[in-house]
């Protein structure tokens, strides 16, 4: 299969993913049965991790695992979903049923789907049942009532690159190691795809729906990231769009009392202003985000540490070192107590504090902290990770500065 075909499959899967994401948000508060078909374990995990990340700030997302001996969908959800309000259930385990000619578990699975359909009505939430294609091919025949009750089917094609790439390259999974909890993780979608998804969502829900907030936030993050990375085709236009979408997200998130999401959007808009050197515009947004997180999460939550770190970085950029240092120290203390002394976030706080001391020509203390950060990065991220390489370079430079 050639590269062009592989790319077309990836683009088709991206469109399917957007449709799934929009359907999930549209189904909040009501029973919606979605069937997602995927044959590759890593691909399935990547897709689930993506939509969990996209939805986590607004909705409760649960992973529900079928009992291989008694694979009842209703039983699994009732036992494993703690809070059903504003919740989304991802159901896994069907891919393991009926393997090695053990058909009994698969027969039970179809039976539970067929005969307990009506009992699912009490579950007022979107349910995504993940199945392999071999089960999908039998489902309409073996559980016709359940099949007729479905609200959507999302077919993800197997990507040839899954066989080519190193299995450890899990690049689709969105994380927060490179930059501390800034919620700007790289999007797998183009601006055109997300804009099309937004248009579809507006047509479906209307302009003032709180469900649009997530898409506005995604678009703001995407355009902000393109500006910061130098990938923007038209920098001024994309800058205007990033600010517009962030502000639209904040309005809806505030109106519908999505406080965690408001804090994230304020933080990300502040980060955009900071990258432009607009420090006076960035500071009040960082402070407001910090205040919301403290009120919502308490003073010792890692997200509060992230806000403290971001505010400290802003002050450091302005050479306000006396303002920055106590915030970096607070951030470091929270991360150590909440995440442990060897977490990558701790290393990043150490690295940032080292950079602050380097700016003040306190090279000995800076080298000590940079060395601690380097050891953690090497242990947790490996020698090839950019954070590890940056820390190693800082240690070398600080050692040279001490000798001069």
pLDDT tens-digit map of 17-33? 888 988 898 888 888 89
Q: What is the mean pLDDT of the chain?
A: 84
Provide mean pLDDT across the span 179-185: 37
Provide mean pLDDT across the span 314-332: 95
pLDDT at 305 over 70: yes
Q: 90-94, 230-234, 251-255: lowest mean pLDDT where?
A: 230-234
Query: How big is the CA angle at 203 (ends 199 and 209), to the nearest 5 degrees?
Result: 95
Provide mean pLDDT across the span 252-261: 91
Rounded-to-integer distance, Cα 127 and Cα 23, Å = 11
pLDDT at 44 over 70: yes
Instruction: Give residue-wise pLDDT tens across range 71-120.
Output: 999 899 988 998 888 899 999 999 888 865 456 888 899 988 887 656 77
pLDDT at 6 over 70: no
pLDDT at 259 over 50: yes
Instruction: Give residue-wise pLDDT tens across range 185-194.
Output: 445 567 887 7
Provide mean pLDDT across the span 373-383: 92
Provide mean pLDDT across the span 47-66: 89
pLDDT band at 337 (very low <50, low <70, confident <90, very high): very high
What confidence score (pLDDT) does residue 175 get?
27
What confidence score (pLDDT) does residue 400 get?
84
pLDDT at 381 over 60: yes
Percent share of the chain, pLDDT over 90:
45
Does the pTM of the predicted model rise above 0.75? Answer: no
What confidence score (pLDDT) does residue 182 get?
38
Strand pairing report for 152-155 and 87-92: unpaired
Rounded-to-integer distance, Cα 333 and Cα 331, Å = 5
Among the listed residues 38, 66, 69, the one whose alpha carbon sits nearest the alpha carbon of residue 51? 38
pLDDT at 173 over 60: no
C-alpha distances (whole Å) from 387 to each of 188, 334, 382 are: 22, 21, 9
Q: At a CB cut-off of 8 Å and minimum separation 6, what does 275 contact?
A: 224, 227, 228
Query: How big is the CA angle at 194 (ends 190 and 198), to the nearest 5 degrees?
Result: 165
């Amino acid at each position: 299969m050639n590269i062009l075909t592989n790319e077309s499959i990836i683009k088709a899967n991206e469109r399917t993913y957007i449709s799934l994401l929009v359907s999930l948000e549209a189904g909040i508060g009501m029973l919606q049965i979605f069937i997602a078909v995927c044959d590759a374990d890593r691909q399935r995990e990547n897709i689930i991790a993506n939509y969990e990340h996209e939805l986590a700030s607004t909705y409760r997302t649960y992973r529900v695992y079928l009992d291989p001996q008694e694979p009842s969908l209703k039983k699994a959800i009732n036992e494993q979903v703690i809070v059903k309000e504003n919740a989304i259930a991802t159901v896994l385990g069907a891919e393991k049923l009926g393997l090695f000619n053990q058909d009994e578990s698969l027969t039970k699975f179809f039976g539970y789907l067929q005969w307990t359909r009506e009992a699912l009505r009490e579950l007022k939430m979107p349910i995504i049942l993940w199945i392999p294609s071999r089960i999908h091919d039998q489902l309409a025949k073996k559980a016709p009532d359940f099949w007729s009750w479905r609200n959507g089917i999302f077919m993800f094609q197997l990507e040839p690159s899954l066989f080519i790439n190193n299995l450890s390259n899990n690049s689709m999974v969105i994380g927060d190691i490179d930059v501390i909890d800034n919620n700007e993780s790289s999007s797998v979608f183009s601006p055109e795809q997300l804009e099309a998804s937004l248009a579809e969502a507006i047509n479906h829900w209307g302009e003032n729906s709180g469900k649009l907030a997530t898409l506005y936030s995604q678009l703001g993050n995407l355009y902000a990231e393109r500006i910061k990375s130098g990938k923007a085709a038209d920098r001024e236009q994309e800058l205007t769009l990033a600010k517009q979408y962030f502000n639209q997200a904040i309005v809806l998130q505030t109106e519908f009392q999505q406080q965690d999401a408001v804090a994230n959007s304020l933080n990300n808009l502040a980060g955009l202003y900071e990258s432009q050197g607009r420090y006076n515009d960035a500071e009040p947004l960082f402070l407001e985000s910090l205040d919301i997180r403290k009120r919502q999460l308490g003073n010792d939550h890692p997200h509060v540490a992230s806000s403290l770190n971001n505010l400290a970085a802003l002050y450091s950029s302005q050479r306000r070192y006396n303002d920055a240092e106590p915030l970096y120290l607070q951030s470091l203390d929270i991360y150590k107590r909440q995440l442990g002394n060897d977490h990558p976030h701790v290393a990043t706080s150490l690295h940032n504090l080292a950079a602050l001391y380097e700016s003040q020509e306190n090279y000995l203390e800076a080298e000590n902290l940079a060395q601690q950060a380097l050891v953690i990065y090497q242990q947790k991220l490996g020698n090839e990770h950019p954070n590890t390489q940056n820390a190693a370079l800082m240690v070398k430079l600080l050692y040279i500065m001490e000798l001069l």
